[in-house]
Amino acid sequence: MQFQQLQYFVAVAETRHFTRAADLVHVAQPSLSQQIKTLERELGADLFLRARGNITLTDAGEALLPLARRILADADTARHEVQELVQLRRGRVRLGATPSLCTGLLPDVLRAFHDRYPGIQLLIEEGGSHDLVRHLARGALDLALVVLPLPTPSPALTTVELLREDLVVVSSPDAPRPGGDRRAVQVADLEGERLVMFRHGYDLRELTVAACRAEGFEPDFAVEGGEMDAVLGFVRAGLGVAVVPRMVAARSGRGLRVTPLARPGLHRTIALAHRSDVAPPRAARELQRMLLER
């Protein structure tokens, strides 16, 4: 009994038609019929009652059908399991993240992942949450780290909350401290401060501007349009202050003064997102697990 013969048998049993079954398994109909006859000879029993325009299972066929389906399902499971193991040796993960998360959260996690799975290729796409959601939806990414709430809620995506992070104010040590000598500042204290602001589409830009407007003032931009590294560099140079995630400030090294925001402060919620209709590859699921367990 051959595996291929069982495939042909199940196809005929499900379609009740030899020609349609041959089309289903992509083989010529005479070849399929010959293989079914060979299987019947090996089993010593007819599997089908062949009447013109009416193909039905014999008792032997009825007995074989659930067993054949189970064998084929087990073979698919075995193939899938082997492919999953291969993916962890030679696969790839396409991960999207906002630039601030690439700076603050990802380095340690990606280093641990690479140490454990050195054969996995890591492809990182930086962008705002809006762009990352669009890339996920069209299948260009396996996973994405995004800021909640999403700019456009999508039922096609599954999101799992990862962390809630405080935002802080960074400034040059050579410049006056924002808000005077207080150890923590209010958002209202940023009125009159020159802000170094991120480009349009940056989640932090929208959050900061919205917080300032909620306090009744429009933020004053000294420089705008930069990515994270540029913003931090401009702040070090004394061009203004910026509102950034605490993790980024902690990793930014010397040349920055970090001032927390007084309660209730500003926060952002980071989530891990993937498509709901397609399971991420095994390697991506392993990275997902490491991110959730960090």
DSSP 8-48: HHHHHHHHS-HHHHHHHHTS-HHHHHHHHHHHHHHHTS--E
Chain position carrying tokens 């032997």? 60
Q: Quote the pLDDT of residue 253.
A: 72
Residues 6+ apart with CB under 8 A from 216: 188
Q: Tokens at residue 91, please?
A: 């696969």
Q: Tokens at residue 234, please?
A: 């401009």
Q: Which CATH architecture has domain 3-72?
A: Orthogonal Bundle (1.10)
Pick the CATH number of 82-163+270-293 from 3.40.630.30, 3.40.190.10, 3.40.50.620, 2.60.40.10: 3.40.190.10
Element (H, E) at 249: helix 246-251
As a whole number of Å, the CA-based R_g of the chain is 30
Within 10 Å of residue 51's Cβ, how many Cβ atoms? Answer: 8
User: 86 vs 23, 151, 282, CA distance in Å?
Assistant: 31, 37, 9
Q: Are 238 and 177 in contact (CB under 8 A)?
A: no
Q: Tokens at residue 274, please?
A: 């993937």
For the domain made up of 164-267, the CATH class stated in words is alpha beta
Domain boundaries, the chain: 3-72, 82-163+270-293, 164-267
Concatenate the DSSP letters of all residues of 57-71 into one string: E-HHHHHHHHHHHHH
Q: Tokens at residue 108, please?
A: 């340690």
Concatenate the DSSP letters of all residues of 160-194 into one string: EEEEEEEEEEEE-TTSPPTTTT-SSB-GGGGTTSE
Single-letter code of the amino acid located at 118: P
Give me the tens of pLDDT residue by residue for the chain, a chain 294 residues long. 889 999 999 999 999 999 999 999 999 999 999 999 999 999 999 999 987 778 899 999 999 999 999 999 888 878 877 776 666 777 789 999 988 888 778 989 999 999 999 988 899 999 888 889 889 988 899 999 998 888 666 778 899 999 999 999 999 999 988 877 788 999 999 998 999 999 887 888 989 999 999 999 999 999 998 888 899 999 999 999 999 999 888 888 778 999 999 988 999 999 999 999 888 888 899 999 999 988
Chain position carrying tokens 């309660």? 263
Q: Tokens at residue 132, please?
A: 């990352």
Say whether 164-267 and 82-163+270-293 share the same fold: yes
For 191-230, give one letter per residue: b (16+ CB within 10 A) or e.
Answer: eebbbbbbeeebbbbbbbbebbeeeeeebeebbbebbbee
At residue 109's C-alpha, the angle toward residues 271 and 96, to 5°, is 45
pTM for the whole thing? 0.64
Q: Are 251 and 104 in contact (CB under 8 A)?
A: yes
Q: Are 236 and 161 in contact (CB under 8 A)?
A: no
